[in-house]
Amino acid sequence: MEEPEQAEQAIQLINENKEFNAETLARFNKYVGGRDVGFGYHVISVFGSQSSGKSTLLNALFRTKFDTMNAQVKRQQTTKGIWLGHTRNVAVSVAKSAGNDDSTRVNEDLFVLDVEGSDGAERGEDQDFERKAALFAIAVSEVLIVNMWEQQVGLYQGNNMALLKTVFEVNLSLFGQNKDNHKMLLLFVIRDHVGVTPLTSLKETLETELNDIWSQLAKPAGTEHLKLQDFFDLEFTALAHKLLQPEEFIKGVESLGDAFTSKDSTTGYLNPQYHHNLPLDGWIMYAENCWDLIETNKDLDLPTQQILVAKFKTEEIANQAFQNFEENYHVDLKKDTTASELAEQLKSLKRGCFEDYDAFASRYVRSVYQEQRKQLSIKTENKIKTTLAEYFANLSEQVLEELTLKITAKNKQTFADKTNVAKKFALDKFRSSAQVFTTRELVTSLGEEISNFEISVEKVISDERDKESNHIIARAGKKIHLGIKEEIFFLLAHPQPDLWDQVLAKFNELWKDSLKNFETGIDQKYDFGLELSESKDAEIRDSVRSKAWTVLYELVHDYLSEDNVVTILREKFENLFRFDENDSPRLWKNEEEIDSIFRVAREKAYQVLDILAIASTTDGVELVPDVPLRDGDGNMDLEQDFEDDEGVYHSKRFAHILSNSQKARILQKFKRQANTTVIEAKRSTIKTTTR
């Protein structure tokens, strides 16, 4: 059991200058000592003429410490203003009969407003305060106690009735236009009840009086049909004279206390429908706002006020929740952190944040609470998204690496087949990871991340496809290169009259052979297995062809250097000159024979030179590549005419293998060597004849 709280001195909520006490919030926090009060509190106000024993009653009933006339020994007047007391103790009869203390602990916090006015009827200035105090009490409290002497009942005079008229008027102005279900309790406490007149007849008299006041009110248009009972529940009770009948007085106070603590909604005074439905942490702000508006004579629109308070408070709570969320936000992103591990971490952080928010904010106006919740959700989502961005960047890098490995794997599959499988694997892996976060509602969408990843995948595939087509071109080029060296060089070294027909036929054979894996069966159409359009396939084919021709050009021109041609001519010449048709070495009989064989052999060698000098078919057509040729740097067209640095014009053609000056130099060298061979032959004849 908690210790009963010591009654605390009341504070002045609104002072005589009509100012709201700035320390109220701090005081409230002290009152509730950090407990989460939520809706578990009530606000009760008391009205009545000055020195009618209001404070005395509150202190007896609620164990509060409001100043009373007695306590203020010397002071003549009670201090004007609205005083606020707090209690969790109420005087009740049940506790006493059970042998306990004469007060009982209530679980809910009661806030009591003691309105200290003066006799308002007398001074205009005070009427203003009275009116404002009434507006305030109606706006913020659930029960309004009207305290009056028995002898005032039925007199229809004095400031009591003027006060009630004020209360009714302000109430109509506040709620008349849009009457909702909200009601408050008007509790009449008749003091110094002698007992001669029973409470029931006092009650009747008062009810008649109240209805009279109500009917005489100037009601705003549209509110004429509304009855007093539409706004107020009425309760009447009477208390004996405190000094003359102290025991009776205390008994009366205790049965009042019973009604304030009763959980029975028919006899209890604290009916839930009187509550303003603001949690305590919002009530203080609400009360202050209400007072500001009343004091500056602005429209006191309570529903709007409640919304404003709700907006302010939910935002404050959301900010606090988000701050905690950020402080707790430690996410460990290791290379092997799985999507579901990360999602669990984030989910628990997010859950914590919303638990913080919901615990306090859900008590406010639902629409405001939900709107603010949405905002909070966006903020947490943005924070989470920065982590996810990092996570997906890592994941993307990892999956793209795997994608590349799968595409470049060396196996029997075509590029297209490998790519399709690898692409599906990569997209599935990424999408299923993304889904882990969306299904857990950590983010609403990861569409952007997914489409960025898809773009990266396409980029990897297209880069690999480019590499692959370059490989195909290079591989075919190498094959052709090898083929030319092995087969075409042989043809060049032993030139036949149809040399270039043979070269061309061989070249086409090599070219076709280099692409035989990609043949479609349709002439000149190739499928390189790269999932390309027909025109792209044709481009690759043309590149291979261009490469092939370039290789042919370079190899042939290199091979047929001046020295090599001289060697080829000499070989041709010597074969004919030294060997007979049966490949047996000739034995010379005389110089005449040497001269005649020499002429024939030299003639044949000359013919070879003509064959080699210009690449043309037996039909006399020069060989011309059917595609543009590029050199290694890919920027020079090999089939073109050009001027050299000295301004000399050159015709550069595939077919033009030896220029006239080259031919002349070749002939000169060849002749010298051939002549040497002849002289040696002749010497050998002389030796044999002289022996």
Query: Which of 239, 608 has the CB closer to Mg ion?
Result: 239
| CB 249 within 8 Å of CB 53 | no
* 56 interacts with, out of Mg ion, ligand GDP, none, CB within 5 to 8 A per kind: ligand GDP
Q: How far is the CB of 195 from ligand GDP (least distance, A)?
A: 14
In the range 616-655, which residues lie near Mg ion by CB under 5 A? Answer: none
* Phi-psi group of 118: left, alpha or beta (phi > 0 → left; psi -120 to 50 → alpha; rest → beta): beta
Q: How far is the CB of 50 from ligand GDP (least distance, A)?
A: 5
In the range 515-534, which residues lie near ligand GDP by CB under 6 A? Answer: none
Query: Which of 98, 196 has the CB closer to ligand GDP?
Result: 196
Task: Specify the stretch interacting with ligand GDP by CB under 6 A; choose among 49-57, 322-330, 439-447, 509-517.
Answer: 49-57
Query: Which of 236, 500 has the CB closer to ligand GDP?
Result: 236
529 is in an annotated binding site: no
Q: Binding to Mg ion by residue 55, rule CB under 5 A? A: yes
Q: Which residues does residue 11 pair with via DSSP β-bridges, in sequence order? A: 84
Take residue 198 and report the two structure tokens written for it.
């029973």
Q: How far is the CB of 43 from ligand GDP (least distance, A)?
A: 18
* Number of residues this chain uses to bind Mg ion (CB under 5 A): 2
Q: How far is the CB of 51 from Mg ion (least distance, A)?
A: 8
Q: How far is the CB of 72 from Mg ion (least distance, A)?
A: 9
Take residue 113 and report the two structure tokens written for it.
């407003």
Among 63, 242, 350, 418, binds ligand GDP (CB under 6 A): 242
| CB 682 within 8 Å of CB 594 | yes
Helix, strand, coil percentages in the chain from 3-state DSSP, rounded to 5: 60, 10, 30
Q: How far is the CB of 32 from ligand GDP (least distance, A)?
A: 26
* 53 interacts with, out of Mg ion, ligand GDP, none, CB within 5 to 8 A per kind: ligand GDP
CA dist 135 and 130 (Å) reads 9
Q: Taking the mean position of all CA atoms in its chain, how far away is CA 191?
A: 67
Q: Closest residue (Cβ) to Mg ion?
A: 55
Q: Binding to ligand GDP by residue 245, rule CB under 6 A? A: no
Q: Which residues does residue 235 pair with via DSSP β-bridges, in sequence order? A: 187
Q: Binding to Mg ion by residue 64, rule CB under 5 A? A: no
Query: Residue 561 contacts by C-beta under 8 Å, 6 or more apart in sequence?
Result: none
Annotate 188-238 with DSSP letters as a single string. EEEES--SSS-HHHHHHHHHHHHHHHHHHS-PPTT-TT--HHHHEEEEEEE
Q: Binding to Mg ion by residue 103, rule CB under 5 A? A: no
Annotate 378-404 with DSSP letters as a single string. HHHHHHHHHHHHHHHHHHHHHHHHHHH
Q: How far is the CB of 71 from ligand GDP (least distance, A)?
A: 8
Q: How far is the CB of 223 from ligand GDP (least distance, A)?
A: 32
- How many CB atoms lie under 10 A from the CB of residue 13? 26
Query: Which of 42, 242 has the CB closer to ligand GDP?
Result: 242
Query: Which of 244, 686 has the CB closer to ligand GDP?
Result: 244
CA dist 679 and 587 (Å) reads 14
Q: How far is the CB of 65 from Mg ion (least distance, A)?
A: 11
CA dist 338 and 353 (Å) reads 23
124 is in an annotated binding site: no
Torsion angle of the four alpha carbons 323, 328, 333, 337, in this order, in degrees rounded to the nearest 10: -120
Q: Binding to Mg ion by residue 147, rule CB under 5 A? A: no
| CB 286 within 8 Å of CB 140 | yes
Among 54, 63, 479, 547, binds ligand GDP (CB under 6 A): 54
Q: How far is the CB of 365 from Mg ion (least distance, A)?
A: 36
* 192 interacts with, out of Mg ion, ligand GDP, none, CB within 5 to 8 A per kind: ligand GDP
Task: Specify the stretch interacting with ligand GDP by CB under 6 A; choose among 46-54, 117-125, 433-441, 488-496.
Answer: 46-54
Residue 36 identity (one-letter amino acid) = D
Q: By C-alpha distance, which of 311, 280, 278, 242 is closest to 57? A: 242
* Number of residues this chain uses to bind ligand GDP (CB under 6 A): 16
Residue 110 identity (one-letter amino acid) = L
CA dist 658 and 663 (Å) reads 6
Task: Specify the stretch interacting with ligand GDP by CB under 6 A; choose among 44-52, 473-481, 585-593, 637-645.
Answer: 44-52
Query: Which of 58, 426 has the CB closer to ligand GDP?
Result: 58
* 51 interacts with, out of ligand GDP, Mg ion, none, CB within 5 to 8 A per kind: ligand GDP
Among 7, 8, 18, 50, binds ligand GDP (CB under 6 A): 50
49 is in an annotated binding site: yes
Q: Binding to ligand GDP by residue 52, rule CB under 6 A? A: yes
CA dist 497 and 502 (Å) reads 10
In the range 148-207, which residues lie near ligand GDP by CB under 6 A? Answer: 191-192
Q: How far is the CB of 162 from ligand GDP (least distance, A)?
A: 16
Task: Specify the stretch interacting with ligand GDP by CB under 6 A; choose among 10-18, 54-62, 150-158, 419-427.
Answer: 54-62
Q: How far is the CB of 67 from ligand GDP (least distance, A)?
A: 7
Query: Which of 248, 531 has the CB closer to ligand GDP?
Result: 248
For 94, 151, 173, 252, the CA distances from 245, given in Å and listed in that order, are 21, 17, 42, 11
CA dist 336 and 157 (Å) reads 86
52 is in an annotated binding site: yes
* DSSP assignment letter at 484: I
- 3-state SS of 272-323 is HHHCCCCCHHHHHHHHHHHHHHHHCCCCCCHHHHHHHHHHHHHHHHHHHHHH
Query: Which of 192, 281 has the CB closer to ligand GDP?
Result: 192
53 is in an annotated binding site: yes
Secondary structure E strands in 488-611: none
Take residue 122 and report the two structure tokens written for it.
């007398």
Annotate 39-92 with DSSP letters as a single string. T-EEEEEEEESTTSSHHHHHHHHH--B---TTTSSS-SSPPPEEEEEEEEEEE-
99 is in an annotated binding site: no
Take residue 23 and report the two structure tokens written for it.
């320390």
Q: Binding to Mg ion by residue 78, rule CB under 5 A? A: yes
Q: How far is the CB of 46 from ligand GDP (least distance, A)?
A: 8
Query: What are φ and ψ of residue 234, in 5° steps?
Result: -115, 140
Q: Binding to ligand GDP by residue 55, rule CB under 6 A? A: yes
In the range 575-594, which residues lie near ligand GDP by CB under 6 A? Answer: none
Q: How far is the CB of 270 from ligand GDP (least distance, A)?
A: 23
* 97 interacts with, out of ligand GDP, Mg ion, none, CB within 5 to 8 A per kind: none
Query: Which of 71, 600 has the CB closer to ligand GDP?
Result: 71
* 465 interacts with, out of ligand GDP, Mg ion, none, CB within 5 to 8 A per kind: none
Query: Residue 622 contacts by C-beta under 8 Å, 6 or more apart in sequence?
Result: 614, 615, 616, 653, 654, 655
* 52 interacts with, out of Mg ion, ligand GDP, none, CB within 5 to 8 A per kind: ligand GDP
Contact mark string toward ligand GDP, 60..99, x via CB under 6 A: --------xxx-------x---------------------
Q: By C-alpha distance, which of 381, 379, 465 is closest to 422? A: 465
Known binding-site residues equal 48-55
Which residue ranges are tagged as binding site for GTP?
A: 48-55
Using CB under 6 A, list all residues that contact ligand GDP: 48, 50-56, 68-70, 78, 191-192, 241-242
Q: Interface residues with Mg ion (CB under 5 A)?
A: 55, 78
